[in-house]
Amino acid sequence: MRIQRALARGGVASRRRAEELVAAGRVTVNGAVARTGQIVDPAVDKIVVDGEVVARARESQWLVLNKPTGVLTTRRDPGGRATVFDMLPDIPALTYVGRLDYLTEGVLLLTTDGDAAHALTHPSREVERTYVALVRGDGERAARNALRGITLEDGDMEVRDATAVSLGKGLWDFTVTLAEGRNRAVRRLCEALGLEVQRLVRTKFGPVSLGDLKPGKTRELTARERRAIAEITALDR
């Protein structure tokens, strides 16, 4: 990570203030004066500010939950309904990366790295999300129309990929990939395409796939998934 981020995560100062400390020559890395934007590894490098060694930041934690239907993506609900945090280990500062609505299932990323969570959901990153919807209607025509582009009440929506597999009796598995996290995006897309959604599952968020993870269960991200996320979120660090 960049030196200013390492200082911020080490509790030294905000990122902006950390940049000022580096520019003033008050920070060293392994005995050498740090450079603005320098890449460091806090777990290995010795970082010193004004003669004081910066405590090594704890490695961020990453989980993926297979969110079941009928569960809220929030920390607590005044009405007493179940939330995703009821299914998670007690990890301080754990936050979700984007939301899934009450009835939508599937991949929900969670992390203790708030900056990375923000980066993954920022429109400029265009991180792809893939959903599989069980729908009633003309799935084949809907897939063709989706790829031409759809305009919703809050603007145009770009669909990266859309396919439909007939299940018979008017039902389809409608798979769609978007690069945005607009509120209820897939449900509104399906409505605009004339499809009735009966079930909706997010099967992939960026490099993280659902796989065979059971509903309500979590797993830690693999090293490959973490490296892929680091590449996405390190663009401005």
Which candidate in 101, 115, 138, 173 is catalytic? Answer: 101
Domain 128-205 = CATH 3.30.2350.10: yes
Q: What is the pLDDT of residue 142?
A: 98
**Catalytic annotation on 101?**
yes
Residue ranges per structural domain of the chain: 3-53, 62-124+208-233, 128-205
Q: What is the pTM of this model?
A: 0.78
- What is 62-124+208-233's CATH topology? Alpha-Beta Plaits (3.30.70)
What integer pLDDT is reported at residue 235 of this predicted model?
55
Question: What pLDDT is recorded for position 28?
Answer: 95
86-90: long-range pairs with CB below 8 Å, 24+ = 87/216, 87/217, 87/218, 88/63, 88/218, 89/63, 89/218
In this structure, are residues 101 and 163 in contact, taking their beta carbons and an 8 Å threshold? no
CATH number 3.20.20.70 given to 3-53: no
Which of 123, 70, 73, 68 minimizes the C-alpha distance to 96? 73
Taking Cα atoms as reference points, which of 212, 204, 211, 201 lies closest to residue 228? Answer: 204
Alpha-carbon distances of 31 from 37, 53, 183, rounded to whole Å: 17, 11, 49
Output the pLDDT for position 118.
87
- Listed as ranges, residues in the chain with pLDDT below 70 are 43, 55-58, 235-237
| The pLDDT value given to residue 237 | 44
